[in-house]
Chain A
């Protein structure tokens, strides 16, 4: 009997964006589509890591609940719901992004190719055309390689979690039954309970605490979230019969027609006479029911493209970390990296992202220790990658026992090769391309030890508020003229989109020479510095001010430079800035908050 495994990736458009920009996990992310007449509606949303206070709830009425925001709700309405559930502060940090079905599709195709490690036949499920969220794997005969279906499902969940993906997994006789089970793991766990031989498991420490749009629930329900389930052979139709009709992958209109006759479970649909089913309901329902019961074969169409290399080395017995020399471990990882690089080099490609997983000893059923290594430009250098892994290893607490090591290429890209000149170029002997390569390797090393967010290439953005006048973009290599033009066009398009989303026009360029080189991330109230400001005119510049114990006498004050902006981020920022020069020649950037007249230090011309 064939067996199928379904991977459900809830709210895939949001998950894809969180993969690309992990810093968004801390804020609510809305993926919106633009309807006619410019209205924005929510296509998907999630708040992966809400702050602890929001998770715990609040004493205020309505606060602390999960915001229920269904697909299709207008963005303005969704903001109101979010504000009721989590307070208006949550609305100030919301990240709104336009939907991009093509990019979502491309990303899930990459993931499908990656899943070929579990089965040679992997297909993408699209219940709603253009919005895929599921993968079907034909695991007939392959589960035994992973120690059984239950261990296979667990491995899939853990491996995806190591990549930062939240997934629900189910194994059943048909893709339709596996789809239904994967979408209702919690319900099956609660009602299947003591008598059913269903194998239902939850992750010990779920990484993703994604809050979603589907349904409400309490903390207790969240704790009970199930991540994988195995339906026994030949039991699918019976075990899953009590699931709601929507588990048959039918559209909302068909579900509404069925609900009109008082049927709300799959068993109710199965009990209907076939003749009545054909005459009274759309043909889609009949086909879905046949697929669910296994009466009609459902083809799995794999996406094209080549899978990225991966390799693992399992030890004969778990090795204690204290007995393991770091050089030995690095040597093993280097060998595995070289094996992964060989097919890539043959294709003219290099590694952009690499994952090393240290499997724990067999006695400990724990997720593996994961080391993610990313580079800013594709590299085919084994030693460079091994050095990056070594830098990360030095800062990790290794498990007590290691049962094996797995190395996997997460992303690859074309490597630019260039023949070296015999006598170099220029008197310094350093060519531009050599310098770029050296800088790229330096950035990889810095990001490996300090973290990718600690190394950036600042870029100006069109925001009048000084704190938001630049972004810390990941460093990029030097590109050709054509690539550069395309990048600039994309960037301008992105800014325009952002501006359109936020509903404001691009402000003019920064005034040159008026911004300090030394600026605190947030303005510092002079009261906090035990300082004070004296101004002659009520709305005039400061004449004297004191920072701590040091008094300053102002001999020049340039300004005011009035900044009124950021109404979309919360209370409007209204400030009068002054560049003040003291008698000692020092220059400070002070502003008066127009709302209450309070003085702040916002920079020093260091």
Chain B
């Protein structure tokens, strides 16, 4: 009987298919297994031990320019790649393998992350030109069961609205729509937003503050992550100590966490090394010159 009920639910036969109420969404959400992010310290930080497909996650970055130069967008994309992995383990179900990036600015540079895609993973970029188009695009993408993750850096901000429901109402309303859409389809929304928006209401399951740390090598990025809020479990876990992740920029996965190296306080050493590199490039003996003729 239990098997039949599960099959009916899967095939969406019966009343639950016609009316998808909040209870069904909750059941669906809890049925979905948590997907590890691939970064152990980040998994430890997140209340669910990873990211639950069908939820929203906000990545908050310092500074007013979003996504800035702090590495949050790279980390979010690496997590999106992990969410889009199919048959990652024997007991793990098949998952969609499409990642959709909503890039209103036109500054997203795919060559940085295309080498991170594995196997049949596919990257789609959508470039809306207006606010309402951006909201609609994210909403449509999160409703699609064939999309694993939606990565966006929405421009819309709360705090300046004139709605009678409050200053942050437009953002909150849009995010609530996205949360319902994601919960219905199983797609995950990853939004990179400025840290100044942490006081706005949010429907994200977790809000992760990403701060860059200096000292990594050229192909690695050291980032500090901490929890700033989210759902009740995230709020309860917000007091946890910040942890550090190392992002391998060449492969888009976790790098080796080494003890932090003391960074020289001035750039003379780097300048000297770089000058030597410039000299090598000038006389054609080495360096990383890339030339097509």
Residues of A within 8 A of B93 (CB): 426-428
| Smallest Cβ-Cβ distance to B265: which chain A residue | A555
A513 and B111 contact, Cβ closer than 8 Å, known pairs A446-B137, A446-B140 = no
B197 within 8 A of A: no
A587 and B71 contact, Cβ closer than 8 Å, known pairs A439-B144, A508-B290, A605-B221 = yes
Instruction: Determine whether the beta carbon of A587 is less than 8 Å from that of B221.
Output: yes
From B68, B218, B277, contact of A514 by CB (8 A):
B218
B10 within 8 A of A: yes
Mask for A534-551, Cβ within 8 A of B = 1, else 0?
011101110110000000
Instruction: Determine whether the beta carbon of B111 is less than 8 Å from that of A460.
Output: yes
From B10, B32, B124, B270, contact of A541 by CB (8 A):
B270
Using C-beta atoms within 8 Å of the partner chain, give the interface range for chain B: 35 or more
The residue among B141, B144, B264 with the most chain A CB atoms within 10 A of its own CB is: B144
Q: In the complex, what's the smallest C-beta–C-beta distance from A127 to chain B, in angstroms? A: 43
Instruction: Determine whether the beta carbon of A507 is less than 8 Å from that of B111.
Output: no
Residues of A within 8 A of B194 (CB): none
A457→B10 CA distance, assembly (Å): 31
A442 and B271 contact, Cβ closer than 8 Å, known pairs A425-B94, A457-B122 = no
**A418-463 CB contacts (< 8 Å) to partner B:** 422-432, 434-439, 441-443, 445-446, 449-450, 454-458, 460, 463
A581→B211 CA distance, assembly (Å): 14
| Smallest Cβ-Cβ distance to B128: which chain A residue | A450
Segment touching B, from A1-9, A199-207, A350-358, A562-570: A562-570
Instruction: Determine whether the beta carbon of B214 is less than 8 Å from that of A584.
Output: yes
B172 within 8 A of A: no
A435 and B212 contact, Cβ closer than 8 Å, known pairs A555-B264, A587-B221 = no
B72 within 8 A of A: yes
From A428, A472, A516, contact of B186 by CB (8 A):
A428
Other CB < 8 Å A-B pairs besides A434-B145, A512-B115, 18 of them? Answer: A426-B93, A438-B145, A445-B140, A469-B111, A475-B124, A478-B122, A507-B291, A517-B74, A537-B271, A539-B282, A544-B267, A560-B274, A561-B290, A576-B281, A584-B214, A585-B212, A587-B71, A604-B69
B77 within 8 A of A: yes
A586 and B211 contact, Cβ closer than 8 Å, known pairs A423-B11, A450-B133, A455-B126 = no
Residues of B within 8 A of A423 (CB): 7, 10-11
Instruction: Jot down 18 A-B pairs with beta carbons below 8 A, ordered by A.
Output: A427-B93, A430-B95, A435-B98, A438-B146, A439-B96, A439-B98, A446-B140, A457-B124, A460-B110, A507-B292, A514-B288, A555-B264, A555-B267, A565-B293, A581-B214, A585-B214, A587-B69, A606-B70
A560→B282 CA distance, assembly (Å): 10
Mask for A362-403, Cβ within 8 A of B = 1, else 0?
000000000000000000000000000000000000000000
From B100, B145, B212, contact of A584 by CB (8 A):
B212
**B110-161 CB contacts (< 8 Å) to partner A:** 110-115, 120, 122-129, 133, 136-137, 140-141, 144-147
Instruction: Determine whether the beta carbon of B146 is less than 8 Å from that of A442.
Output: yes
A458→B115 CA distance, assembly (Å): 12
A583 within 8 A of B: yes
Interface size on A, residues (CB 8 A): 92
| Smallest Cβ-Cβ distance to A566: which chain B residue | B292
**B9-45 CB contacts (< 8 Å) to partner A:** 10-11, 32
A96 within 8 A of B: no
| Smallest Cβ-Cβ distance to A543: which chain B residue | B267
A119 within 8 A of B: no
A463→B292 CA distance, assembly (Å): 8
Residues of B within 8 A of A429 (CB): 10
Instruction: Determine whether the beta carbon of A439 is less than 8 Å from that of B275.
Output: no
A118 within 8 A of B: no
Residues of A within 8 A of B108 (CB): 517-518
Q: Which A positions have Cβ atoms within 8 angstroms of B?
A: 422-432, 434-439, 441-443, 445-446, 449-450, 454-458, 460, 463-464, 466, 469-470, 472, 475, 478, 504-505, 507-508, 510-521, 535-537, 539-541, 543-544, 553-567, 576, 578-579, 581-588, 603-606
Q: In the complex, what's the smallest C-beta–C-beta distance from B286 to chain A, in angstroms? A: 11
| Smallest Cβ-Cβ distance to B137: which chain A residue | A446
Q: In the complex, what's the smallest C-beta–C-beta distance from A425 to chain B, in angstroms? A: 7
Instruction: Determine whether the beta carbon of A560 is less than 8 Å from that of B137.
Output: no
The residue among B32, B77, B106, B292 with the most chain A CB atoms within 10 A of its own CB is: B292
The residue among A441, A458, A513, A565 with the most chain B CB atoms within 10 A of its own CB is: A513
| Smallest Cβ-Cβ distance to A446: which chain B residue | B126
Residues of B within 8 A of A443 (CB): 124
Closest 8 CB pairs of A and B: A585-B212, A438-B146, A458-B110, A513-B249, A562-B289, A435-B146, A519-B109, A586-B69
Residues of A within 8 A of B147 (CB): 438-439, 442
Mask for B80-114, Cβ within 8 A of A = 1, else 0?
00000010000001111110100000111111111
B268 within 8 A of A: yes
A606 and B126 contact, Cβ closer than 8 Å, known pairs A428-B186, A540-B275 = no
Q: In the complex, what's the smallest C-beta–C-beta distance from A544 to chain B, in angstroms? A: 8
